[in-house]
Chain A
Amino acid sequence: MKILKILQYKKPFSIALFFSVIYFFFYLYTVGFLVMGDTETKLLDNWGDLLFKQRVPFVWEPIGTFSLKIFSLFFAPLNLILALLLSFLIFLNVAIVVYSYYLPKVCRVGHAGLFGLLPSFLTGFACCVPTVLIAIGPVLPSLTVFFIQLRPFLLPSSLILLMFNIPWSLSRISNEHLKQTQNTF
């Protein structure tokens, strides 16, 4: 498969890994599960009741905390799986973009597909208000309402965009290009 061949090259692999790890932690931060400060590592007694309970669509209740000394991680298994899935898709997308950078200009994939990750950053929610709107301040009350209605579709949009961008990007890379770039990395 083309993607496996691309991942054999050190540069696309390592750069993609770097960005996917950054994204993983940043995503957890935007949904409020990575916070500054230390806390004790613990599992709640009622973790079974909380495991599948959603705060808002695609944000589940954490069932425990994990101390990372400077930071603390709120542990929600389903959100961690989601974060890993998104990070994996970022990893593949970035690897393809980096690889294609070394192809002839007309064949380069470009960065447009990576914009698919943006909606996933907007899913954070603090109680009643999306955290992105708290950050920028009340702009228009109707905008808040619109954003809340839009919010359930943001994460699926990210997933769809990132998933579809992979075969589309790979379609622009021929097997001949793969042979030609063997000695490039």
Chain B
Amino acid sequence: MLNNVNFKFVFFFLLIISVTTALTYKTPTQKSKVILNNSPLEFRLNDISSNIISGGPPKDGIPPIDSPKYVTISQANFMESDDIVFLIEGDNPKIYPQKILVWHEIVNENFDGVDVSITYCPLTGSAIGYLGDFGTSGKLVNSNLIMYDRQTDSYWPQILGQAINGEKKGDLLTIYPVIWTTWEKAILKYPIADVLSTDTGAIRDYTSDPYGSYQEEGNYYDVGEPFFPTMNKDLRLPPKTVVTGVFVGNKTLAIPKHLLKEQKLVNFEFNNVPLVFFFDAELGALRVYERSSEEKITIGELTSDLKWVPSYDVMWFGWSSFFPETLVYGETN
């Protein structure tokens, strides 16, 4: 009987069925329980929510590190001097190697009773700290990681920092300062810092970065287009340009980092708020603060009393996809 069956026909029939099913499969989206009175904000959040796509992994398929372990700097023999790290400053400094976070994207911490998530999205080059406890949804929007909160399962795009659906729809997260720097710079300034260990509870090849390398040119991190579709394509800057995204009231500002490397310090007013941003060469970081008065200040007058303005480094295409109305420093001054 088998001799009479046209197996070639069977193969292609099954393949066609599989492909058709795959193409028509739609990623299920959450339904919101919160109605924002049909405001422009709600329309915007709904618009973002309708652009959610599956990144492939299931919920927590990219496993967050919920019980982080640390080693001392001298024990961290897996690090090289020009490795990218994310730094928490203060009395108990902590260093989170990019080569570990590229595989986990979220580290959930508790600092003095306060939940803090250190989040990193490799696709948009954004390392952001948020108050809260989050997991990875496995979904993306604008090529950016969508987190979910463990309490209500609401979705929070990492760059947006605002819930786009679920019980918390419309709520905003509080940004916790995280510095993007290098291993060499971080350990020079904070020689007693704890370093996130490779003992994460999961097995990954922490010696390699699946997307490319920050130490080399011509790969995903510095050239080319995003892997996934974005809602807006803004050509004011090349897509992989690193900007420091700044939130001032209801407006956003993008500062191309390379401009401040040259200018060092800028006194600036934005959205009626006097700001000062300067390039901290010690860590290779752009810092943004609010001036107490409209008087301009110099590098010598920078003090720890200045109020930090929520900001973080991110690739231009990611920032402009979520904030198409953003101003770009250099265009406005």
Q: Which A residues form the contact surface with B (CB < 8 A)?
A: 32, 35, 37, 44, 46, 50, 54-56, 61-65, 74, 125-131, 133-134, 137-138, 141-142, 144-146, 148-153, 156-157, 160-161, 164-165, 167-168, 171
What distance in Å separates the Cβ of A45 from its nearest Cβ neighbour in chain B?
8
Chain B residue nearest to A126 in the complex (CB): B210
Residue of B nearest to A151 (CB): B56
Q: Are B230 and A141 in contact (CB under 8 A)?
A: yes
Instruction: Assess whether B54 is interfacial by the CB under 8 Å rule.
Output: yes
8 Å CB contact of B211 from A54, A129, A151, A165: A129
Cβ contacts A to B, 7 pairs, < 8 Å: A128-B56, A141-B226, A144-B227, A150-B22, A157-B14, A164-B11, A165-B7
Q: Is A146 in contact with B205, judged by CB distance below 8 angstroms? A: no
User: Could you tell me if B55 and A148 are in contact, using CB atoms closer than 8 angstroms?
Assistant: yes
Q: Are A56 and B61 in contact (CB under 8 A)?
A: yes
Rounded to whole angstroms, the CA-CA distance of A35 and B103 in the bound complex is: 15
If over half of B's interface residues share one DSSP class (helix, strand or loop), that class is named, otherwise mixed; here it is loop
B24 CB to closest chain A CB, in angstroms? Answer: 9
Q: Are A145 and B228 in contact (CB under 8 A)?
A: yes
Which 8 interchain pairs have the tightest Cβ spacing?
A126-B210, A168-B7, A128-B55, A141-B229, A153-B18, A62-B203, A150-B22, A35-B205
Name B19-52 residues within 8 Å CB distance of A. Answer: 19, 21-23, 25
Instruction: Kindly state whether residue B57 has any CB partner on chain A within 8 Å.
Output: yes
Q: A157 contacts B15, CB within 8 Å?
A: yes
Which residues of chain A come closer than 8 Å to B18, judged between CB atoms? 153, 156-157
Q: What B residues does A138 contact at CB under 8 A? A: 220, 224-227
How many residues of chain B get a CB closer than 8 Å to chain A's CBs? 48
Q: How far is the CA of A128 from the CA of B55 in the complex (A)?
A: 5
Known pairs A55-B57, A128-B123; A74 contacts B102 (CB<8 A): no
Closest to A45 in B: B201
Contacts of B21 in A (CB 8 A): 153
Q: Are A145 and B53 in contact (CB under 8 A)?
A: yes
The residue from B10, B63, B205, B210 contacting A164, defined by CB atoms under 8 A apart: B10
Residue among A46, A125, A126, A156 with the highest chain B CB neighbour number at 10 A: A126
The residue in chain B whose Cβ has the minimal distance to the Cβ of A130 is B56
Chain A residue contacts of B8, Cβ below 8 A: 168
What is the chain A residue whose CB lies nearest that of B103? A127
When chains A and B are docked, how far (Å) is the Cα of A158 from the Cα of B69? 41
**Shortest Cβ gap from A102 to chain B (Å):** 21
Closest to B208 in A: A35
B105 within 8 A of A: yes
Does any Cβ of A come within 8 Å of B298's Cβ?
A: no
Is the pair B226, A160 in contact by a Cβ cutoff of 8 Å? no
Tally of A-B Cβ pairs under 8 angstroms: 124
A50's closest neighbor in chain B, by CB? B202
* Residue in A closest to B54 when the chains form the complex, CB atoms: A148
Q: With the chains together, A176 CA to B35 CA distance in Å? A: 76
Q: Does B140 interact with chain A (Cβ within 8 Å)?
A: yes
Q: Are B210 and A127 in contact (CB under 8 A)?
A: yes
- B 268-309 binary contact with A (CB < 8 Å = 1; else 0): 000000000000000000000000000000000000000000
Q: Which A residues lie within 8 Å of B235 (CB)?
A: none
Query: Is B215 in the interface zone, CB < 8 Å from A?
Result: no
CB <8 Å contact, A127 and B102: yes
Task: Check A146–B211 contact: CB distance below 8 A.
Answer: no
Whether B227 and A125, one on each chain, are in contact in the complex, defined by CB atoms closer than 8 angstroms, is no
Q: Which of A32, A44, A74, A128 has the most CB of B within 10 A?
A: A128
Complex: A130 Cα to B56 Cα, angstroms? 8
B122 at the interface (CB under 8 A from A): yes
Cβ-defined contact, B61 with A46, below 8 A? no
Residues of chain B from 204 to 223 with CB closer than 8 A to chain A in the complex: 205, 207-208, 210-211, 220
Q: In whole angstroms, how far apart are the Cα atoms of A142 and B227 in the complex?
A: 8
Say if the beta carbon of B3 comes within 8 Å of chain A: yes
Contacts known (A164-B10, A167-B2); A129 close to B61, Cβ less than 8 A: no
Q: Is B227 in contact with A133, judged by CB distance below 8 angstroms?
A: yes
Q: Which residues of B contact A168 (CB under 8 A)?
A: 2, 5, 7-8
CB-based nearest A residue for B63: A61
The interface residues of chain B lying within 8 Å CB-to-CB of A61 are 63, 202-203
* B324 CB-CB contact with A under 8 Å: no
For residue B58, CB closer than 8 A to chain A, the reply is: yes
B266 to chain A, nearest CB (A): 34
B90 to chain A: closest CB distance in Å? Answer: 29
Verify B23–A145 contact, CB threshold 8 A. no
Q: Considering the complex, give the chain A residue whose CB is closest to the CB of B140.
A: A128
* A164: min CB distance to chain B, Å: 5
- B131 close to A (CB within 8 Å): no
